[in-house]
Structures are given as structure tokens and as C-alpha cells.
Amino acid sequence: MTQEVEMKDAQAPSNSITTPCGPSTLQHLKEISFLIETGAYGKEVRRIVRAVRLTIMLRRKFKAATLSAFITFALPSGSETHHKLSFYLPKEDEHDMDVDSASSAAQQGHAKHSLPEIEIYCYLIVLIFLIDQKRYDEAKACSSACIARLKTVNRRTVDVLACRIYFYYSYSHELTNSLAEIRGNLLALHRMATLRHDELGQETLLNLLLRNYLHYNLYDQAEKLRSKAPRFEAHSNQQFCRYLFYLGKIRTIQLEYTDAKESLLQAARKAPVAARGFRIECNKWAIIVRLLLGEIPERTVFMQKGMKKALVPYFELTNAVRIGDLELFRIVAEKFSGIFGSDRTNNLIVRLRHNVIRTGLRNISISYSRISLSDVAKKLRLDSDNPVADAESIVAKAIRDGAIDATIDHANGWMLSKETGDIYSTNEPQIAFHSRIAFCLNMHNEAVKALRFPPNSHKEKESAEKRRERQQQEQELAKHIAEEDDDDF
């Protein structure tokens, strides 16, 4: 996955946010700032998380004039942060403002915030706006200024906002092909997060560093960092999915296909349904890994909703491997070489050639009890100078590896296949059942670990009014929980 797959909102926000007669975008931003202020004073991180979710829902409505008005409302006019952020927001015409002057003037009398959380939040919304407007160089400068400010703040309520800043900091540099410039800074930030026991920041920065290394094909360095970085229970499902995907890519390059398959399939399964681009990338790599393991993915893998077109090259590749046709495999590899190159799976496709030959040889062994080596070479379509000798060496290696149960008659130049025994007399069915049971038990344990409960729920007794308010907020957020923080993908 060479380019950041930034998922867009799969559906429009709820009616409480999008109705024309409802509150304006500026009013919503002010309400979010009050939510952040409440969370900061009460040290409730969950309120900050909710504020970030609500901001993502408003993202498409951001305008320069609206953000400028909010920054003027939230920050003291003479502050350094206000001056920096105002520079990125040019003034627009009056009709671009989605709030009337009367309500703006009424709110203007509110006391200015001096909380670091509000300051970082202002940086965040301006940074999102700059990236959406494709002003990447300005986004780089804005994110760098915010990172410098974050280094001076050590508050747990800032950690959620800081993770977003880290993500867009790396993303803006990736969009300008300058990821290598920030690698040292990301390492310093990860060290700082570790010393501050900021586990959410460690998760985010570790994934950004792994992505940075893999972008330049530095797989050994990525594995060294991953193996030495502190590990703990995942706090963010999105970051855990990313970690599994990067781990699967590293394991694939290191020829550890079994572990790679498990990581990639788990990442695809845990990813939100709306994160289609991320799930497509996971499935592409998982298909290649399964083919390298000698497995043939089911047709339903390629028929998933929204993925059929993107997985066509890998479907044809799988068909060539399943048949064991070396010529068809070569044609498919050449036909989709551009797509495989952009997906960075070309090297893995080269490895598959041996699996195609082995599959074709297995089909021949099942079909014929005795066949000449020259006919084996013709059926495998070997295009070398001495195909018979090559066929003999291929058959010998397959017999040694246990891929086929046969012998070679060197005097007559034949391959003699042995009769297929009863597979149920072996331990293979037991091994297959064991793997399925272990998979189900593991999924159950992960589901139990993922259960979340509100803090101090056994101590607090909420009134009926508060309960109704909480249930209403939960219903509004339930529509967006599937694509929760989609831009992470």
C-alpha cells in the first residue's frame, strides 16, 4: 500500500447535523469546543474522542471563513497560535459564512479559551482543511508548527488529538514525497510518548514509522523497530488493523507465509466495513500469500461487495496458478504488470512461478500413473534449452519436498506415480479440525477483550433525564460508528 488510502464518509451525517434549518457549522464547532473543555477539566478522555468523531462528520462542510470565525472565537486574538492559523485561512466573502452576524456577535462575548486542548484542536481542523483543499505545502508547515507545540504539552486529554496530528503530519509529508525527512522526528516523538506512558501515541507513531520504512522498502529496519518497540493491549481498532497489515507485509517478505496469512486476514476482518480501500489492500496481499502457501482462495473472496473490479488481476492470477499453466501465468503477469507494480507485489508474483510448476506437476501426477519426462515438459510448457533435463530436476525436487508421491525411472525417462492412499487414515483431518477450532476460540477471546464499559458505571447513578440524553447521543453516533474515523484508512 504505497499511497495513503483515506476513506471518505460512506453516508451523510445524521439529520441533527445536516438539516439546513439546524445549527450552522460554526455553531457545531463551538459545541465541540465546549465538549473538549468539559473533557479537559474533568479529565475525561472519552469526551475528547467524541469530539473528534463529531469533527470528522463535519469535515466536508469546512470553509475558510467558518474556521477563521471559530479560531477568533476560541483563541485570544493576540496569541501566536491565532496569528499562525489565521495566515492559512484567507478571508472569504460574506455570503460564504454559514452563520449570521447576529449569532456570531452574541457568541463573541464568550471568554477566550486558554486550554492546550482547544489550541491543538484548532490546529487539527485547519490542518484537515488544508489537506482537503490540496494545499499540501502549507499543511506541512502547519503540522510542523503543531508538532513543535505538542512537545511542550504533557496532558493525557491531549493524547487523542495528538494522535490525529501525528497522522496528518506524516500524511502531508507523504503527499509531497518527503517522508524520509521526518523519520528522525517520528522516532523522537515515539521515544517521548514512551517516556510519558502515552500508549495511544505509541501505537500511532509505531504504525507511522513502520509505514515510513516500508515506503522505502526498508523491511529489515522495520522489523527491528517492531520487535524492540514496547507492546501492550491495543487501544484503537484502526491502529491495530494497520499494525497487523504492516506485520503481514514484513512477514511475507521474510518468507514467513503462515504468520503473514494470519495477520493479513485478521486485519481485513477487523477493519471497518467502510474502510474499503484498506480491506482491498489486505485482501490483495492475503491472496498472494495463500497462493505462495499452496492454497487456492475461494471464489467468494474475489466477489466481495465493492472489491470485484480491484481484485480482477488477482483472480486471473489465481486461476493460472490453480490450473498450473505456466504460459497463462506469464501472460497474466505481463498483462497486469502495471497494477502489480503499483501494488508492490511484483517480487511476490515472481516467487509464484515455482508454485505454478508444482501445481501443474501435481495435476499430472494425479492424472497419469506413468508419463514420460518429455511429455511432462510439454504439459508444463517449459521453454528452456533442455526441457527434459529441467523436467527431471523439477520432478526430483517435488518428490523430495513431498509435493507428489512418485518415483523416477531414469533408464526409461518416466515418472511413475503411486496410488493415492486414504487421507482419513492420516492425521491431516485432525490437524484441519484443530486449526479451525483454534481459530474460533481465538476469535471468541478477542471479542471478549474488545468489550467496553463506561468508567465508574457501578458507582454512578444517572437520572432519567441524563439517561435519555445519553441514549440519544449514542443513537446519533451509532450511524457513524462503522466508519469511525474513516480517514485513518
> Residue 246: what pLDDT?
92
- What is d(CA 90, CA 80) in angstroms, rounded to the nearest whole number? 17
Helix (H) or strand (E) holding 161: helix 159-175
- What is d(CA 166, CA 202) in angstroms, rounded to the nearest whole number? 11
> 50 or 420: which carries more pLDDT confidence?
50
Phi, psi of 475 (to 5 degrees): -65, -35
- What is d(CA 55, CA 28) in angstroms, rounded to the nearest whole number? 9
> Residue 462: what pLDDT?
59
Cell numbers 453516533 correspond to 477
Domain boundaries, the chain: 24-90+114-213, 368-419
- What is d(CA 77, CA 66) in angstroms, rounded to the nearest whole number? 16
Of the listed ranges 142-146, 336-340, 358-362, the least confidently predicted one is 358-362
Q: Which amino acid is at 108?
A: Q
Of the listed ranges 31-35, 282-286, 298-302, 417-421, the least confidently predicted one is 417-421
> Residue 92: what pLDDT?
53
> Residue 421: what pLDDT?
63
Q: pLDDT, tens digit, for every residue of 164-208?
A: 888 888 888 888 888 888 888 889 888 988 888 888 888 889 999
CB neighbours (10 Å) of residue 404? Answer: 19
Which residues, in sequence order, are CB contacts of 32 under 8 Å at separation 6+? 51, 54, 55, 121
Angle 262-267-268 (CA atoms, 0-180°, nearest 5)? 100
Which residues, in sequence order, are CB contacts of 250 under 8 Å at separation 6+? 210, 214, 219, 222, 223, 226, 260
Of the candidates 215, 220, 190, 217, the one whose C-alpha atom is nearest the C-alpha of residue 205 is 190
Max mean pLDDT among 42-46, 133-137, 310-314, 420-424 falls in 310-314
Query: Partners of 371 in the beta sheet?
Result: 415
Q: Is the pLDDT of residue 354 over 70?
A: yes
> Residue 479: what pLDDT?
57
Q: Which CATH number fits domain 368-419: 3.40.50.170, 3.40.50.10540, 3.30.1330.10, 1.10.10.10?
A: 1.10.10.10
- What is d(CA 143, CA 151) in angstroms, rounded to the nearest whole number? 12
- What is d(CA 485, CA 180) in angstroms, rounded to the nearest whole number? 26
pLDDT averaged over the chain?
A: 78
> 225 or 368: which carries more pLDDT confidence?
225
> 390 or 305: which carries more pLDDT confidence?
305
Band of the pLDDT at 453, cuts 50, 70, 90?
Answer: low
Which residues, in sequence order, are CB contacts of 318 under 8 Å at separation 6+? 287, 291, 296, 297, 302
DSSP 3-state of 62: coil
Helix (H) or strand (E) holding 253: helix 237-253
Which residues, in sequence order, are CB contacts of 438 under 8 Å at separation 6+? none
Query: Partners of 164 in the beta sheet?
Result: none
